[in-house]
Structure 1
């Protein structure tokens, strides 16, 4: 579902180029979950943005659902994100003027692949059915994060990319949200790449890799 092959990325700084990724390679199969760990600023979010086609590598190649991102223009990458990707961030990025129901259905509607029954089921599974006509500001932090996850899964994406999805939540809410995320990922058959600094969050994943000095290291269970 996702393959990075010998990917490198650096950024210009006043002191010269800063190398963030150095020949990174990984594969992620459909239905598989992978945690990516590492110190703050080590390049975890950079790798996620490259996988989503939001940024381009200096060298190396990236395939998403057997399509080479470097062979696509920005409009094609944007269309691929709408139809094949689900994105969940630490910041919820909910639309404050839309109801809970409309926020959840937003990405599926933009991709023109909404399945109404699935949207209704998601609201129930997320514990948000009775809040369907509320607005994001009327929800707790945990409820807002569940809504953000539901929005990403409404299109039944091939790949779900999550960047510290429980970082703003207390431990109890984080555990609840993570359990629901894993359950829904299994049901939809999505591949999951999750960035976290927390061993507790990484533990349920099928595999765990650490990004260290621009390279990936396997973390044994």
Structure 2
């Protein structure tokens, strides 16, 4: 579903080029979940942006669902994001002028795959059934993040990219949102690539990789046992 082959990315700085990714190889299979960890500034978000086609590699190849990102123009990459990808960010990016229901339906409409039965199921599972006419500012942080997750999954994407999806939430809300996210991912069968700084958040996923100095390495994440 997602493949990086010897991907390199650098940015210009006053001190010269800063290499963020140095020959990264990564493979994510359909239905698999992968946590990407690393320190702030290690390049996690850069890798996620490359996977989404929001940026292009300097060298190497990124493939999503068999398509080489670099071979697509801007319109083609936008279509790929609309039809194949779901995106969830730490900042919720909800549309303030749209109700809960319309925010949830937005991505599915853009993809041409709106399904009223699936929308109703999502609202119920997200705990938002009684809040459909409210606007984002009338929701708690946890409710807003659940809505953002539902919007990304409404068109049933093949690949979900999540950047610190619980980073804004307290521990209790974060656990609830993460549990819901993983349950919906399993039920839809999509692959998940999630950026996180927390071993605790990474632990339930199938695999975890650590990004350090532009290179990926294995990382074993474990949850702290509950007393």
What TM-score do you get using the length of structure 2 for normalisation?
0.97
Structure 2 match to 1:208? 208
Q: Does 1:111 align with 2:99?
A: no
Deviations 1:138-193 (A, max 9, x none): 10000000000000000100000000000000000000000000000000000000
Q: Give the equivalent residue in structure 1 for 2:173.
A: 173
CA offset at residue 220 of structure 1? 3.0
| Unmatched runs of 5 consecutive residues or more in structure 2 | 222-227
> 1:116, CA displacement in angstroms?
1.0
CA distance in 1: counterparts of 2:171 and 2:220, whole angstroms? 24
Structure 1 residues 2-151: aligned runs within 5 Å: 2-151=2-151
Unaligned runs of 5+ in 1: none
- The equivalent of 2:224 in structure 1 is none
Q: Give the whole-Å Cα distance in 1 for the aligned partners of 2:184 and 2:4.
A: 25
Alignment coverage as a number of residue pairs = 221
Specify the SS of the correspondent of 2:17: strand
CA distance in 2, matches of 1:85, 1:119: 18
- Name the SS for the 1:107 alignment partner: helix
Distance (whole Å) between structure 1 residues aligned to residue 69 and residue 168 of structure 2: 31
Mapped to 2, the partners of 1:78 and 1:97 lie a distance apart of: 23
Match of 1:96, SS state, is coil
Aligned pair 1:162/2:174, yes or no?
Answer: no
Secondary structure, in 3 states, of the residue corresponding to 2:177? helix
> What SS does structure 2 have at the residue aligned with 1:175?
helix
Give the CA deviation at 1:113.
1.0
What secondary structure, in the 3-state scheme, does the structure 2 residue paired with 1:155 have? coil
Give me the whole-angstrom Cα distance separating, in 1, the residues matched to 2:84 and 2:57: 20
Q: 2-side partners of 1:41 and 1:171: how far apart?
A: 23
Between the aligned partners of 1:119 and 1:64, the Cα distance in structure 2 is: 26
CA-to-aligned-CA distance 1:70-90 (integer Å, 9 cap, x gap): 111110010010000000000
Determine the C-alpha separation between the residues in 2 that align with 1:18 and 1:68: 25
Query: What is the rounded CA distance, in whole Å, between the counterparts of 2:120 and 2:38 in structure 1?
Result: 37
Question: Once the two structures are superposed, what CA deviation does each residue of 1:9-62 show, in whole Å capped at 9, x if it has no partner?
Answer: 000000000000000010001110000000000000000000000000000001
Rounded to whole Å, the distance in 1 between the matches of 2:55 and 2:143 is: 30
Alignment partner, residue 199 of structure 1: 199
Deviations 1:104-153 (A, max 9, x none): 00011111111111011100000001000100011000000000000000
Report the TM-score when normalising by structure 1: 0.99
